Structure formats: structure tokens, C-alpha cells
Amino acid sequence: MKVELIPALKDNYVYLLYEKIGGPATVIDPSEANPVLEKLDELSLSLNKILNTHHHFDHIGGNEELVKKTGAHVYCSTYDLNRIPEAQSGLKDGDHIDLLGESANILEIPGHTMGHIAFWLAKSKLIFCGDTLFSLGCGRVFEGSLELLWKSLHHLAALPEDTMVYCGHEYTEANLKFVKSLGDESVELSTFEVDLAAKRNLGRPSLPSSIKTEKTLNPFLRAKNLADFSRLRIQKDSFGA
Ligand SMILES: [Zn+2]
């Protein structure tokens, strides 16, 4: 499974999945259509599925035009069926859909929004988790509760540690500042910081991360309990991002 990271809007990532040049493709969270259409053209891919992790405009903005131009089928959570443009099929926790011959597992991970889902490809060891888990961070609570988000993050943390994590935004550098403000001076964090600077200085994405990295460094996953987590998330709200 090949994953193309397409930067879109200010700091979103759209993910294009395909097996081979000239074959079928699936797109995840197309915030806008044009960069996706350009990439499809460049790689001679035909888009047949659009997957949305949640209903926020910066994850669905390209749905209408992509459906019009390619006829792709749109999947999202059953919860979001009535608020995502062009949505056709609703998904629930434990459902599977075929992605280019591989079975993708649907995980319900509410908290950022109530209808938020993730797409987990166990065989390829990939998780697409939208705005729930970020590298060194997590999403804000817009519709759910801190408790729901805490449970969802632990749902993700229970995946195999070598699972690669594809998040909805390039927030890693800002999140690192927050982690450092908490006083983390570990060798692991210093090594991460050097690697991150090397990637970003070359204009490369910081993503994907991995479940192992996030379990080691992400303060929201390392929080001891819900109270600890909640304090941290509220602190982050006023820190910015
Ligand atoms: Zn969002």
C-alpha cells in the first residue's frame, strides 16, 4: 500500500492511497479537491473511494468536486451521514471496508467530534486518525467530553506499536514546544527534536509517527489518569493549538 501525503489548506494533510501507478486510489479527508485532482493526474490514478474521519470543513471540503469529477463513493461514520456532503455509506465501530484489496477496520474514536472514526489497516500497519491523535498532541474537545477523548486515545494506543500514525494536521513542532514547556528533558525527546528539525528544514512532513513514539513521548498518552489528562488538555487549550 502506498501513501501519498498531500499538503492542503494551511496545515492539513490529505492522504492518497494506491497500489500502483495507473490503478485505483482512495483518498482520506480531502480538505480541497484541486491538489488531489493534480496528484491523481500525475500518477494516472482513478479515484473510487473517499473516506472522511469527521465532518469538519477542513476534512471534507473537496468531497463535492471530487465526486462530480470522479464518481467516487463517500464513506463516513453513520453519525455524520447527514452532515457530510455527498456521504453515501455510514460506518460503525468494528465494520470493515475493502481498501484496494486490503480490509480496513473502522474504529469509533469520539471526543474531538461525536462522529469521529479512524481507518486502521492492520496488514499494512497504518492508522488514519484525523484530529484525535496528533504527533505529541491530541485534538481539542469540540463535541464530546474529555473522558470520551481519553478513552479514544487509549483505543488508539492499544494498537500494535509498529503501526504508523497518519494525523490530520502538521502540528508537531507546535506540540513539541508544549511538551518541552512541561519539563520533559528525556534523551528520547531530544532525539525526536533533532529528527524533526532535519525533516522540517528540508520541507518534509513530520508524519507519519508511530504508536510506539506516541506512547513514549506524547504527554496525553502518558497521562496517569483522566484527571491528569484533563488538566493537560485544558492547559494546552490556553497554550495555543
Ligand atoms: Zn477537526
Angle among Cα 59, 64, 69 to the nearest 5 degrees reads: 120
- Within the chain, which residues score under 70 in pLDDT? 240-241
Domain residue limits, the chain: 2-239
Burial 15-46 (b: 16+ CB within 10 A, else e): bbbbeeeeebbbbbbbbbbebbbebbeebebe
Active site residue 169: yes
Q: Please state whether the peptide bond connecting residue 208 to the residue before it is cis, i.e. omega within 30 degrees of 0.
A: yes
Per CATH, which fold does 2-239 belong to?
Metallo-beta-lactamase; Chain A (3.60.15)
Kind and range of the H or E element at 103? strand 102-108
CB 19 within 8 A of CB 1: yes
> Ligand 1 mean position to 128 CA, how many Å?
13
Catalytic-role residue among 29, 55, 116, 131: 131
CB 233 within 8 A of CB 205: no
Active site residue 73: no
Active site residue 131: yes
Active site residue 112: yes
Active site residue 58: yes
